Structure 1
Amino acid sequence: MSDSRITDLDGWIAALTKPAALMELGALVACGLLAWLLASLIARAVGTRDSSSITFGRRIVDGVLFPALLLCLAYLARALMVDWVQLAVFKIAMPVLLSLLVIRFGVKILQAAFAEAPLVRLLERSISWVAWLAMVLWVSGLLPVILEELDQITWKVSGTTLSVRNMLEGALTAGAVLLFTLWISSGIEARLLRHATGGELSLRKAVSNATRALLMFVGLLVALSVVGINLSALSVLGGAIGVGVGFGLQKLAANYVSGFVILAERSMRIGDNVRVDGFEGLITQINARYTVIRSLAGRESIVPNEMLITSRVENLSLADTQVWQSSMVSVGYDSDVELVMRLLNQAMLNHERVLRTPEPSVALSNFGADGLEFTVGYWIADPENGSLNLKSLINQDILKSLRENQIDIPYPQRVVHTPAVGR
């Protein structure tokens, strides 16, 4: 039986109540089960089951693969049944499945590319409304009529005739191109950053950011071409941007260039302990424009990348993560120097965080005005766990040991001269 169009409500009701509709419904259910089985087998073979995965998602039905397989199988079943029954269920199901695929594809890409952006939820809803509206217009038969009417609304722009239909189709095509480029860039970023750490993580992050920017730029050019905008007209805009960068955006451009230089030469890496302009902490982020440094006290400093290039930066963990700490101890001049040095050394060795190689050191550093001054120093390999807490514990052990061995800790001694009274 040939596939004839159903143009009125009575025809739809009659077609949906025929026994052939049950056959179509059964075919759709079979397509759904087969699509779920194929997606499960592919996910098991690949070994990927992550909520951030665009293709699979945390569950089988969460990713793009399941609706894509379901749509392909439904098209195949429709082609096999079109010569045998008058299709009614498939006429409704195909637009619904296509809309579902578009919504799932757009939402998963936006979640992967802009997980923390506040506008992601609005964009997700916009894609859903547009897809479902197009599906309703398609099923009802109003879509061709509306497109023909929109094609009649035209205006001229620089000798080019544009219509509302062309603009809408161009905008949809541009959105599809940009979503496709975001999909590719998200896949590249996930693959590059999967097992990267330290300096390798910084370099791969730079490559990922540059790849995404390049793909977005190419996608934007393709989208503008699809809309019908002459790309040669962008030469004036490019010249204006160049002048703006040369005069008003010097600092911004310098920060971006400095960011790529830092990531490329790997002089500073994520996780390094640095001191910049009197602020010390761990590097937690290296972005294109700025670097985030988090102190051990929990404060975060956002440092422009240009400052890291042009000013003096102390990288306390460039070669290794070991950090040196020291304290000053004063005892009386009549104290046993060898005993004091043994007690001070043992106070440091009592703590596991103090490294044995290099060994802790104790030195008689100065003959002070009030007593002998000793300097105790040691290395630690985990400054991220705090340094002041360990220093306090060692100082407490030193004070306890000196008191138990009756070693005098002198008070400051001063001679006060008073003028004679009555002269």
Structure 2
Amino acid sequence: MNKHWWQEAVVYQVYPRSFQDTNDDGIGDLQGIIQHLDYIKNLGATVIWLNPIYRSPNDDNGYDIADYQAIMPEFGTMADFKQLLDAVHAHGMKLMMDLVVNHTSDEHRWFVEAKQSKTSPYHDYYIWRDAPAGQTPTNWRSEFGGSAWQYVPEVGQYYLHIFSKKQPDLNWQNPAVRQDIFSMMDWWCEQGIDGFRMDVINLISKPDTFVDDPTLADEAHGSSLAMVANGPHVHDYLKAMHQQVLSQHDLITVGETPAASTEDAINYTGFDRDELQMVFQFEHMGLDDDPVMGKWTDKKVPLLALKQTLSKWQTALNGRAWNSLYWNNHDQARAVSRFGNDAPEYRVLSAKMLANCLHNMQGTPYIYQGEELGMTNVAFDQISDYRDLDTLNAYHELVDLQHTVDDKTWIIHLGIWDMKSHLAGL
């Protein structure tokens, strides 16, 4: 394999909302990141990955994008972004943007027009199916709970949303969708950014035929995400993306790929594939899942299973593709609390142990803000203190509807799962 700069990079993930507030509105901003570039560089980071900073109604903390080419006002302006980009480059670092193109916000102008009429040119930008009102096209469940279908009376159809109902899935089979997305990506590259982290990128190709999810037959909970993962045309779409955009710039790319195996990862990132450079896989993230509670559990990760899983990915990709390395991020619990021991006498030791393990494997390490400090999870006293959509939906299903756990137990579990750590503060 040829050697590339991104194989020697260290990526530091910044969740802008919680990183640094410079105007006392309680929300982090781009100027706050600029103020701490010396700190990030001194850690040894060479790339900064920003969670979404685009204009959004924030139903899902910015992963519901209303305008791909505008900055969220509470974070700043496009002038602030250009100042940040220039400052990052002046520090000898690179900037990677979050790319969310499996879905948009339902407040994006494409969807606003799409739901007005079946004859709108934007109607086919999304995935619609006919079914009588009250009878969804399939039994699919959203990743955030409830049906993955939402009825729109104006057109008498349901649209698909694998995540929130305010996040309608884009129809990548439509060439106009692909072209608009590629043009938007190219626009950001022309601004001078250095890469993309691609949100749930292996979900963009939906099945040619929609059928019921057989795994939900006897379950009151669960997600149908696997029904759309690694779809039939995903590699065609990514090869086109690479040809039209990625290959035209010197970029770092990593795709979030739930339900991906090592063979899937090689197909996405193999050195001869001309698609992506790395993927975020989730096999080690699922080792402590509970059959009933899912990830909302205080189970400990079995050490042997963890070692076997990490070794499996190191061995399978060696010489064929490149690993991404991570313990936590904005969607996962704090590493020290989850994989180590966050008791005062063990916190620092755990953090150092996890760091040594991560940085001594082959791959590009991704460090979540605060991980370098050995940050632990936070637990508030009541559910109303939380703002993360995934947390709130899981609470509604497991406590309010299914009564799987009581409120007190749930709050204990929230201490296990930090989720969107802007609520913890830095």
* TM-score, with length taken from structure 2: 0.23
Computing the radius of gyration from Cα coordinates, the structure with the larger value is 1
The structure with the largest helix share of the pair is 1
* TM-score, with length taken from structure 1: 0.23
